[in-house]
Amino acid sequence: ILNVEQSPQSLHVQEGDSTNFTCSFPSSNFYALHWYRWETAKSPEALFVMTLNGDEKKKGRISATLNTKEGYSYLYIKGSQPEDSATYLCACQGGATNKLIFGTGTLLAVQP
């Protein structure tokens, strides 16, 4: 059974700050790591799917890295904007199925 943990639980930053969050997962049985961004009253939005150790992905000001050997992924946001305020979720796939095991998320609040 996979156990996915995210830290911190919540984060308050000022507009323009850069920030990062951590997702930890068991390194055994790893298949893929997903990042989502979830704004209140909207659908979770897929950010990245990562599979390879050392993988780095980027989408605008948001980027992510993956270390499958030690079982963690970092999500970075450069120059946070108020519209980045959301809950950021990571989810681990332990095999070649679509079953995702989610962490409880990091709630980011960006103050203008």
108 lies in the site for another protein, by CB under 8 A:
no
| Contact by Cβ (8 Å): 36, 42 | no
CB of 43 to another protein, least distance (A): 5
Chain-centroid distance of CA 12 in Å reads 16
Minimum gap (Å) between residue 61 Cβ and another protein: 20
Of 12-20, 63-71, 73-81, 90-98: span binding another protein (CB under 8 A): 90-98
Question: Between residues 76 and 102, which has the closer beta carbon with respect to another protein?
Answer: 102
Which of left, alpha, beta for 61 (phi over 0: left; psi -120 to 50: alpha)? Answer: alpha
Q: What is the CA radius of gyration of the chain?
A: 13
Grouping H, G, I as helix, E, B as strand and the rest as coil, residue 14 is strand
107 makes contact with another protein (CB under 8 A): no
Which residues, numbered 11-40, are part of the site for another protein (CB under 8 A)?
A: 31-32, 34, 36
Cβ proximity to another protein: between 66 and 80 the closer is 66
CA atoms within 13 A on the CB side of 92: 24
Partners of residue 12 on adjacent β-strands = 109
Contact positions toward another protein, by CB under 8 A?
Answer: 4, 31-32, 34, 36, 41-46, 49, 51, 89, 91, 93, 95-105
